[in-house]
Amino acid sequence: MALSGLTLVLFVMGHMLGNLQIFLGPDVINAYAYKLHHLLPSSALWAVRLVLLGTIAVHLWAAVTLTLDNRKARPHSYQEDKVVQASYSSRTMRMSGIILLAFIIFHIAHFTVRAVPGMQYESEIESKESGRLEMVKVPLVKNGEVVLKNGHEVTTFNVNDMMVAGFKVWWVSAFYIIATGLLCMHLTHGFSSMFQSVGLRNGLWRKRLDRAAHAYGWVVFLGFAIIPISVMTGLLKMDSTGGLVSQVGETAAITDSFEK
Amino acid sequence: MNLDSKIPEGPLSEKWSSHKFNMKLVNPSNRRKYSVIVVGSGLAGGAAAASLAEQGYNVSCFCYQDSPRRAHSIAAQGGINASKNYQNDGDSVHRLFYDTVKGGDYRAREANVYRLAEVSSDIIDQCVANGVPFAREYGGLLANRSFGGAQVSRTFYARGQTGQQLLLGAYSALSKQIGLGKVKMFNRHEMLDLVKVDGHAKGIIVRNMATGELTRHASDAVVLATGGYGNVFFLSTNAQGCNVTAAYRAHKRGAGMANPCYTQIHPTCIPVHGDKQSKLTLMSESLRNDGRIWAPKDAEVAAMIRKGETDPNTVAEDDRDYYLERKYPSFGNLAPRDISSRAAKEACDEGRGVASTGLGVFLDFRDAIKRDGQKTIKERYGNLFDMYQCITGDNPYETPMMIFPAVHYTMGGLWVDYNLQSTIPGMFVGGEANFSDHGANRLGASALMQGLSDGYFILPYTVGNYLGEQGVATAGKVTTEHPAFAEVEANVKARIDKFLAIGGTESPRSFHKRLGHIIWEQCGMARSKEGLEGAIKDLQALRKEFWTNLRVVGDADGINPELERAGRVADFIEFGELMCRDALMREESCGGHFRVEHQTEDGEALRDDENFAFAGVWEYMGDDVEPQLHKESLIYENVKLATRSYK
Amino acid sequence: MEKTMDLTLKVWRQKSANSTGTFETYGVKDVSEGSSFLEMLDTLSEDLVEKGKEPVAFDHDCREGICGSCSMTINGIPHGPEKATTACQLHMRHFHDGQTITIEPWRAKPFPVIKDLVVDRSPFDRIIQSGGFITSRAGSAVDANAIPINKATADYAMDAAACIGCGACVAACPNASAMLFTGAKASHMNSLPQGKAEKDRRTLAMVTTMDGEGFGGCTNVGECEAACPKSISLDMIAQLNRDYATAQLKNFFKPVA
């Protein structure tokens, strides 16, 4: 539980920092996405994804086993049961976990696989015709200059527009905000708890780690939630270099690996 | 009754070593052929069971609690003495021996006490080795304190929970042997009788308190480590379950009962608060280092305080009687337990007692707080003050504590020889259940020492010696098929059936309370011929009433606290009578036994060494027959008998 | 004079291990506020006996908060509402006239109810039997001062050793986990130099036995610590986790026992 949790805790922070680059402009976030997808060969990238999914599976398996064992250990519950010092988040790990799992599935379907009906974000041709969102390839821009490869412009997926488009839907934004709120709760217990589970905590450090866990949880919450909030409030907009759309057809020779 | 104490020849300091050398050894491969029953799992029983099993004997251990870890040794607070002389303050085996004999008012057997002092050091080593977290100094060495008015710092302690830690040490050693299968542990089992075959103790009949089942257990030797009988007073600092049944049943089967009148009353307990109280709580004696004990000079003032009309803090200095300081100027508030207890009783008898019942005196920290500051007092006694406040609801920093004496320990018990063997061959007795080491009064921090000494270092040798003497041919020969077992079991069953069949109107608890009242009044802190004779009559009447008007609800098939108490109270009533007889016989005052007829002009105890330097051992002669007294003379070759004076 | 109160008690009654239990409601009158909770139950028992009914069975012995016998959940909290207090040391002044008090036995599969409020806590004994000891044959010990132990270590060991084995930790834990008990017992011995020789073996054996007895797993919620009458700290669980992980790792490469 603790070790899988640790992996996920670290991933969450990395993921959040990556996402926040959206505030540095579409080029930056798009370039970041490009970099993520080209850092490793495609097979290795999938391996990393599988490890992450596997970690979630381990975390889930551990949670299910623990829950079943724990249910078995108390077949007869108390008529009256008072909580003395256990925090709300520690007592609701199961619920926050289950909702988070549902969220993760949606999130992967939504932004990674892009398979949520009506939110595929890649039918750039059809989209024009159907009048739906335009999700197109944009040139890869680094340090303000378009990157060229073999004399051709390198293009990349327009992550910026995908996110903005995604969060323009109010209920999607709401779901993301609630889910990251639950993540925050999950982390306020989990972050400190994992130190306890591997024996790296004592009375002194418990207080410090509990505070750190709260800080971490809030940072993660704010870091993630600020994006849908910014989209809803209009702070983040569709890529203003949308004019490049017209060039898509001409530069299609080089394609993005993750679109295959 | 043969009272050969079997004290080894030779100089005092060599008796134990030479005796160990002369004892029979059992070949290690033969030990597994023998079985030993240990009843009780406290310091003496737990340590004996663990050590005998370590040696290779098959041990069965019984306790009435749900786990051997709960024996009442666990409640001892103060500490354990040992003549380590780690403080370089002049302690020695001889000094500990001398202090114990003197503290016992010269009514203990010299050779036993010397051996106790001798092995005291080994006990500390053993306990540290098995993980007892004794208090340490910053340098990493063991810390000691002076306890109970001793002139040297020889008391080892683990916060205020020394008994707990020592017991858990013995319990863990015992647990290891249970895990290895060398000890078979029977929790929630109460010994209800002893089985003798050809005059030797060969087994016991027990009741499984969870299922009600009676079972027979045979062995080659039986060790009783069943604790003291303080609950004969109903209210005492003993645990609720502490009882005399095992010891008294053995007594009825022929074991001599020695000095039952020697009981220790501890001066600093929290007073009784009402008629529903079940137990008295001890406050550490260390409080007397700084607290001043007083009662109002005027009975009317006391009455006002009792009614809550006068705040004790407003009583003027001149109206307070610091009676210990007045009577014993050199020892003052630190006068020994028996003396301070009696003085408190006197004050209350004069109508000057406080607390709602009039049975209490003040232990006042006002002056200490004024002198040293509240912070210092809090550092010294904070946990005790908290405990007091938890129980009474009063804040001792603001209003004086109230204390009253309570029964705490019983020095008397089954008679044993130097080998801790009773007058029944093959039956050994350890810990508080025997009479051997404390004479007429026990020194603070000596009970734990004696329990562990018996359990770890004496019984494992002497039981082996007995088994060796019997010879391996006898090992395991007597089984539960022997007719003696059927007979005793039938008796036990009949007795239980009788309890259930009486169908009277009074509960066992009610009889217990009435018994306690008689004993406390007539055989408590001060005893008189007249009172004791009356008590014997009262107890006989109470016994008759008990057997005709007892009501035990429920049945015998499972947990039945009423039935359990009925059996214990039945034995306590008979035992109480024996106590009174012993107290009546002992026409002197010594230690915890104070006969009002035998006191000096200023009210101090008057010992009679010429006529009473003996252990009084009682032989059971039949239900309505007077028990017979036997005497074991106490011969002092190494200490000079002197009068204790604390003036 | 002491104030008294009348109370309504909802008490779990169960004839035997195999029968099904139920709550019974009783009234008790004139309970003095200076009584302990168990003395209040004594009063109830006397009332019941008076009516020819069986009294409520509950474990109790020393009544001074050290033997660990008493074991009952009072208004949803093991040993009742006062912090660091056993039921026998809980005094009635913490309740008020007219109050209804629910009294239940410890609820955990490894602690089956034997009768009324009495449960079988023998799994704790078996955890100790499997490894909760430091082997030292009587007579084999070196001088007690031969191994200096720094005060902080001795104090820490004492903090752990203060456990009275009452089982409130299990009763309070939403998972009926015995980690606080096992942690305290193991940490006491694992932290002392005398206990080092058997440390890995002890830790593995105790945890294996604990799991085998059917206790739940720890989710670090901390209810055990709050219910513990001796305020045993969660640190003991952390240490058990650490010692267990270390022992497992060592055992993986080379069996420790």
Give per-residue pLDDT as tens, A6-36: 999 999 999 999 999 999 988 899 899 988 8
Backbone angles phi, psi at B27, to 5 degrees: -55, 135
What's the gap in Å between the CA of C227 and the closest CA on chain A?
8
Angle at C21 between CA C15 and CA C24, to 5 degrees: 95
**In this structure, are residues A66 and C219 in contact, taking their beta carbons and an 8 Å threshold?**
yes
Which of A34-48, A215-229, B609-623 is the least confident region? A34-48
Contact flag B136-C135 (C-beta cutoff 8 Å) = no
The ipTM (two decimal places) reads: 0.97
CATH 3.10.20.30-classified regions of chain C: 4-114
CATH 1.10.1060.10 domain span(s) along chain C: 121-253
Q: What pLDDT is stored for residue A146 in this prediction?
A: 85
Q: Is residue A37 part of a domain?
A: yes
Residues A27 and A239: their CA atoms lie apart, in Å, by 9
Q: Which residues of C touch B185 (CB under 8 A)?
A: 125
Measure A62 CA to nearest chain C CA, in Å: 11
Question: Please, what is the Cα angle at C165 between C164 and C171, to 5 degrees?
Answer: 120
The shortest C-alpha distance from B584 to chain C (Å) reads: 31
- Band the pLDDT of B242: cuts 50, 70, 90: very high
Res A260 pLDDT > 60? no
Domains of chain B: 12-24+33-264+409-474 (3.50.50.60), 268-407 (3.90.700.10), 483-633 (1.20.58.100)
A94 neighbourhood in chain C, CB within 8 Å: none
Contacts of C215 in chain A (CB under 8 A): 73
Q: Which amino acid is at C132?
A: G
Q: Per-residue confidence at A259, pLDDT binned at 50, 70, 90?
A: very low
Q: Is residue A88 part of a domain?
A: no
**Residues of B in Cβ contact (< 8 Å) with C134:** 129-131, 172
pLDDT tens digits for B576-609? Answer: 999 999 999 999 999 999 999 999 988 889 999 9
**Residue among B74, B165, B561 whose CB faces C57 most closely:** B561
Is chain C touching chain B, with at least 3 CB–CB pairs below 8 Å? yes
Domain count, chain A: 1
Minimal CA separation from C241 to chain A, in Å? 5
Residue A251 belongs to domain with CATH number:
1.20.1300
Range of the domain at A22: 2-69+94-259
The reply to whether CATH 1.10.1060.10 applies to domain C121-253 is yes
B142–C144 CB contact, under 8 Å:
yes
Q: Alpha-carbon distance C92 to B183, whole Å?
A: 42
| Rounded Cα–Cα distance for residues B505 and B495 (Å) | 18
Report how far residue A128's alpha carbon sits from residue A121's, in angstroms, rounded to the nearest whole number.
12
pLDDT tens figures, A72-92: 999 999 999 999 999 999 999
Q: How far is C24 from chain B (nearest CA, A)?
A: 17
CB contacts < 8 A, A to C, total 114
Cβ contacts of A91 on chain C, cutoff 8 Å: 174, 221
- The whole-angstrom separation of Cα A195 and Cα B430 is 49
Q: Do B164 and C164 touch (CB under 8 A)?
A: yes
Statement: residue A246 has pLDDT above 70: no
Minimal-distance CA residue of chain C relative to A94: C219
Chain C residue with CA closest to B307: the answer is: C1
Dist. CA C252–CA C257, nearest whole Å? 11
Under the banding of pLDDT at 50, 70 and 90, the label for residue A134 is low
Instruction: Please indicate if any CB of chain A lies within 8 Å of the CB of C187.
Output: no
Q: Is residue A244 part of a domain?
A: yes
Task: Output A240 or A214, whichever has higher pLDDT.
Answer: A214
pLDDT at site A242 = 45
Does the pLDDT at position B230 exceed 70?
Answer: yes
pLDDT over 60 at B352, yes or no: yes
Angstrom distance (rounded) from CA B417 to CA B3:
8
A80, part of any domain: no
DSSP 8-state class, residue C142: P
Q: To 10 degrees, what angle do helices B15-22 and B110-129 make?
A: 80
In a domain, A81, yes or no: no
Chains that touch A (3 or more CB pairs under 8 A): C
Q: List all residues 6 or more positions away from A213 whose beta carbon is below 8 Å from its beta carbon.
A: A187, A188, A189, A190, A191, A192, A193
Alpha helices in B41-107 (DSSP H): 43-55, 93-103
**Residue of B210, B262, B274 whose CA lies nearest to B558:** B210
Confidence of residue C1 (pLDDT cuts 50, 70, 90): low
- Chain A residues within 8 A of C109 when measuring between CB atoms: 72-75
Nearest CA in chain A to C221: A86
pLDDT in tens, B110-132: 999 999 999 999 999 999 999 99
Q: Do A90 and C221 touch (CB under 8 A)?
A: yes
Pairing of strands B257-258, B614-619: antiparallel
A69 contact residues in C (CB cutoff 8 A): 175, 216-217
Q: What is the CA radius of gyration of chain A?
A: 21
Chain C residues in contact with A78 (beta carbon < 8 A): 73, 76, 104, 107
Q: Tell me if B279 and C35 make a contact (CB, 8 A cut-off).
A: no
- State mean pLDDT over A150-165: 85
Do the Cβ atoms of C161 and B142 come within 8 Å? Answer: no
A57 touches chain C (CB under 8 A): no
In DSSP terms, B216 is beta-bridged to: B205
Q: Note whether residue A84 is domain-resident.
A: no
What is the dotted CATH code of the domain comprising C4-114? 3.10.20.30
Across the range C233-238, mean pLDDT stands at: 96
C76 Cβ under 8 Å from any chain A Cβ: yes
**C243 contacts chain A (CB < 8 A):** yes
Q: Is A243 on the interface with C (CB under 8 A)?
A: no
Q: Do C151 and B138 touch (CB under 8 A)?
A: yes
> Radius of gyration over alpha carbons of chain C, in Å?
21
Among candidate residues B122, B386, B9, the one with its CA nearest the CA of residue C65: B386
Residue B462, min C-alpha distance to chain C (Å)? 15
